Amino acid sequence: MSDPCYKDITCPYCGYISNEPTAWIDDSRCPRCEKWMIHKEHNLLEDELKSLEKEYEIRRKNIYKKYETKPVFKMERFK
């Protein structure tokens, strides 16, 4: 049996397998390709995370546009 404090994680880009302590799994980079190695339970790659960040930015901008104040014309002010 393997030690419960350590888990094997695989780099999704180059296939490098690393036996890291579980406390450092989220923060580890692959020693070969220098990209983030993500544990299988998270199941998100760097590209997917970037696309989610872009989608979030677009949604946030659309919310700000929705609630922008519009200019009021002079005739409407005096009514």
* Model confidence band, residue 65 (pLDDT cutoffs 50, 70, 90): confident
User: pTM for the whole thing?
Assistant: 0.36
Q: What is the pLDDT of residues 20-60, one digit of tens each?
A: 666 555 657 788 888 777 655 555 566 777 888 899 899 88
pLDDT value of residue 70 = 66
Residue 8 parent element (H or E): strand 6-10
Point out the least confidently predicted range of 7-16, 44-53, 68-77.
Answer: 68-77
Domain ranges of the chain: 6-77
**Angular region, 2: left φ>0, alpha ψ -120 to 50, beta rest:** beta
How distant, in Å, are the alpha carbons of 46, 64, 65, 75 from that of 71? 42, 16, 14, 12
